[in-house]
Structure 1
Amino acid sequence: MKNKYENILVYSGGEAIGDALYKLRFIQNLRYNFPNCKITWLAGQGKTEYSYTLKPLINKLIDEVIDDIKIGVNPLKEIIKSSPIQKEYDVIIDTQTVVLPTLILKKIKHKVFLSATAKWIFSDIKPNNFSIKDSSLNDRLNIFIKLINNNQIKYFKDNIVLEDKFIQLSKKLLPQGNIYVGIAPGAGDTSKIWPLRNFIKLAQKQVENNRIPVLFLGPNEKDLLDIIKKEVPKALFPEWTDEAIESGLKGPILVIALAQRINVAIANDSGTGHMFALADTKLISLFSKHNSIKYAPNAKTLIILDSKKWGGIDPNLIPFNEVNNSIDKLLR
């Protein structure tokens, strides 16, 4: 019989935008399986985007976000002190795997404690034959749901819910009736970026095939705007139009809304790739230095092109024709 839990605490070190977007699928699944449970997200070692840019997306998924109580930041000092959190939780889920923060987290009052740290030695419930070594981060998170749900999980399959103002703006910026190919040439880690000349050539190919390339450029990539416009005059830059800027709507939620109108998208291993995945856009993800099994975006339709297949971790190794042919494949 399924245990009845009234509250669940999920612990993480904190989330930059890419991590926060990736974990949204897990949060959706957790809420879907425990609809009446109070869910608290504790970012114990830093800020989380769930308190900022992504707050509108998690309002109905997470009941409380705590990112102003430090747990696991100075473990050697914290280990001898009582926990700053006095509340008792039915379940604590530890999503990280470092021993000292796990021990500190376990000092919070609880009935069930779940952690994969040190091969699950600190966990009250342990999975059978589950290794985190060759599993995706998504699988690692979902196993926690199974452990407190009689080894069962229902996967949330609905589209992400966005505020109507973002949806209406995206319809104006990308009107119906065209084939849109989304291209995101940037990444926070510049060592993971496929060459700009390839992205430009890719955009030019879309124009030749009567498709419209839609470029997604973040604030740090503004200097690419004029360069790409000159090479691909028919490309669209919806986030950088006067209408978008004057609306005051921007950031990840606008990107997700726009991506819902894209037929197929290409992105480096980046936060924008995870935004495309959340929009359920058909996605081509370009990997290089990181493990694509572990960090692949949660896209329903996904092609991963990993530079390691061609001999190394340099994204330059990914052949142009592989990317271009993948677009054609996903548009069939």
Structure 2
Amino acid sequence: MSPAPSSEAPASAAPASDLRPIAVIVDREGLGDSLLKLPFLRAITRAFPGRPVWWISSHQTSMAHELAPFVRPLLAHVIENAALTRPPIDVIGRLRALPPFEMVFDSRTRGLTVLLARLFLEHRGFYCCLPGYLFSSRRPPGRFGRPRGIAARMLSLAEAAIGGPADWEGRLDISDAARGLAAARLPEGPSYVGLAPGSREARKNWPVDRWVALAGALFARGHVPVFLIGPQEQALIERIRAEAPGALMPEVEPVDPALGLVRLELAIAVGERLAAVVANDNGIGHLMATIGTPLVSLFGPTDVGRWAPFTRRGEIVRAQDFGGETMEDIPVDAALAGLDRLLGRTATTAG
């Protein structure tokens, strides 16, 4: 894997080449937020080859952390905690300290902060996500209203700058060591279905007993359930072992440090071996969508129109379709039916 891009580049640092760089301004980004912008990042680096891309976050961004090893070929600089939100007089000074840019893409949606960037960054083209593409140098061809979804909205900015369709598809490169370890833990033969029971917010989590029941239903249908357990789900391990014996948890077992795996690399390698995944509205779900693994997404209180994973092979199961707003309102049968539809569609496509 390549080294991570710098997250501490000074705001006044000069670009590595004589070409004016491209700036992408974002607010706070967790893993899911950054993954939803990855198609856009691929699109602009392909459309404008050779131009350095600066990813500038007002707060923190996963582009400087979990995703850093995977986006290193695409980003020249990642700047965190740039403090480009408030107070306005300080923001103006910070904006003026940045170098001239060829283009600026501003993903934020607060009118004043976007206007300040438009006025006080030197650029030759400015593209932003405000309603009606207000303050943008031009709109995407044939589009007047912005899309609701984060990924589609960002891609529309790329299309505005390009003047046509964006080339956004791709993969995350991982090591042979990661794929070898995943193959050892999920050997060829069984049909594996991933279950991602966590998220950063308890309100977005389907109850644990539903995950256990879903695992049982998968066993009955000839699949092997594979729980995708990250640092925040460690408390679930013993319960899963007790109530879903036979379910696999390949990320729980120790990993030899000599393999040199970076964070998320084993999760990606495991995801490549899964027939499908069922996930809450969480970062792992977005990661599975990014690598092309068929995905069933469970949504309760969060806005599916805005936060749905960006994938060609997905199913959405919403609590609202069952008369409620919470994750508890989603029955096991609904998740299983979504999985059946997705696996059936995938099998038809493969055939």
TM-score, structure 1 length as denominator?
0.90
Give how far 1:214 is off. Answer: 0.3
Does the Cα contact within 8 Å between 1:93 and 1:144 map onto a contact in 2? yes
Q: Paired residue for 2:336?
A: 324
Q: Paired residue for 1:249?
A: 261
Alpha carbons of 1:189 and 1:244: their partners in 2 closer, same or farther (altered >3 Å)?
farther
Q: Paired residue for 1:157?
A: 169
Q: Secondary structure at the match of 1:83?
A: helix
Give how far 1:178 is off. Answer: 1.4
Return the alpha-carbon distance in structure 2 between the equivalents of residues 143 and 85 of structure 1.
Answer: 28
Does the Cα contact within 8 Å between 1:71 and 1:104 map onto a contact in 2? no
Return the alpha-carbon distance in structure 1 between the equivalents of residues 167 and 22 of structure 2.
Answer: 18
Return the alpha-carbon distance in structure 2 between the equivalents of residues 101 and 130 of structure 1.
Answer: 22
Of residues 59-68 and 87-96 in structure 1, the stretch that sits farther from structure 2 once superposed is: 59-68
Q: Paired residue for 2:123?
A: 110
Does the Cα contact within 8 Å between 2:155 and 2:166 map onto a contact in 1? no
Q: Which amino acid aligns with 1:24?
A: L
Return the alpha-carbon distance in structure 1 between the equivalents of residues 258 and 95 of structure 2.
Answer: 47
Q: Secondary structure at the match of 1:328?
A: helix
- 1:56-111, Cα deviation, whole Å (9 max, x unpaired): 11011122212253222x23332564635341111111111102211332211111
Return the alpha-carbon distance in structure 2 between the equivalents of residues 283 and 15 of structure 1.
Answer: 22
Q: Secondary structure at the match of 1:305?
A: strand
> Structure 1: which 5+ residue stretches go unaligned?
none
Q: Which amino acid aligns with 1:15?
A: E
Does the Cα contact within 8 Å between 1:75 and 1:101 map onto a contact in 2? no
Does the Cα contact within 8 Å between 1:6 and 1:36 map onto a contact in 2? no
Does the Cα contact within 8 Å between 1:135 and 1:293 map onto a contact in 2? yes
1:137 to 150, 153, 172: 150
Return the alpha-carbon distance in structure 2 between the equivalents of residues 79 and 117 of structure 1.
Answer: 19
Give how far 1:34 is off. Answer: 2.1
1:122 to 100, 111, 135: 135
Return the alpha-carbon distance in structure 1 between the equivalents of residues 224 and 53 of structure 2.
Answer: 42
Q: Secondary structure at the match of 1:223?
A: helix
1:293 equivalenced with 2:301 (yes/no): no
Return the alpha-carbon distance in structure 1 between the equivalents of residues 91 and 212 of structure 2.
Answer: 53
% of aligned pairs identical? 27
1:210 to 199, 219, 222: 222
* 1:1-332 alignment, distance < 5 Å: 7-43=21-57, 45-72=58-85, 74-78=86-90, 81=93, 83-106=95-118, 107-117=120-130, 119-127=132-140, 129-132=143-146, 135-150=148-163, 152-243=164-255, 249=261, 251-332=263-344
Does the Cα contact within 8 Å between 2:204 and 2:300 map onto a contact in 1? yes
Does the Cα contact within 8 Å between 2:83 and 2:91 map onto a contact in 1? no
Does the Cα contact within 8 Å between 2:158 and 2:166 map onto a contact in 1? no
Give how far 1:199 is off. Answer: 0.5
Q: Which amino acid aligns with 1:289?
A: P
Return the alpha-carbon distance in structure 1 between the equivalents of residues 233 and 260 of structure 2.
Answer: 19
Does the Cα contact within 8 Å between 1:288 and 1:307 map onto a contact in 2? yes
Return the alpha-carbon distance in structure 2 between the equivalents of residues 71 and 225 of structure 1.
Answer: 41
Alpha carbons of 1:242 and 1:116: their partners in 2 closer, same or farther (altered >3 Å)?
closer
Return the alpha-carbon distance in structure 2 between the equivalents of residues 305 and 129 of structure 1.
Answer: 29
Does the Cα contact within 8 Å between 2:300 and 2:319 map onto a contact in 1? yes
Query: How many residues matched?
Result: 324
- 1:151-207, Cα deviation, whole Å (9 max, x unpaired): x12323333322333222222221222100100111111101111111101111122
Alpha carbons of 1:179 and 1:101: their partners in 2 closer, same or farther (altered >3 Å)?
same
Does the Cα contact within 8 Å between 2:133 and 2:145 map onto a contact in 1? no
Alpha carbons of 1:80 and 1:226: their partners in 2 closer, same or farther (altered >3 Å)?
closer
Return the alpha-carbon distance in structure 1 between the equivalents of residues 242 and 258 of structure 2.
Answer: 24
Does the Cα contact within 8 Å between 2:200 and 2:282 map onto a contact in 1? yes
Q: Which amino acid aligns with 1:203?
A: A
Q: Secondary structure at the match of 1:182?
A: strand
- 1:245-286, Cα deviation, whole Å (9 max, x unpaired): 885636323212210110011000111111111121111000
Q: Which amino acid aligns with 1:126?
A: R
Return the alpha-carbon distance in structure 1 between the equivalents of residues 207 and 73 of structure 2.
Answer: 39
Return the alpha-carbon distance in structure 2 between the equivalents of residues 244 and 80 of structure 1.
Answer: 48
Of residues 243-252 and 108-117 in structure 1, the stretch that sits farther from structure 2 once superposed is: 243-252
Alpha carbons of 1:50 and 1:219: their partners in 2 closer, same or farther (altered >3 Å)?
same
Q: Provide the aligned C-alpha RMSD in A.
A: 2.1
Q: Which amino acid aligns with 1:123?
A: S
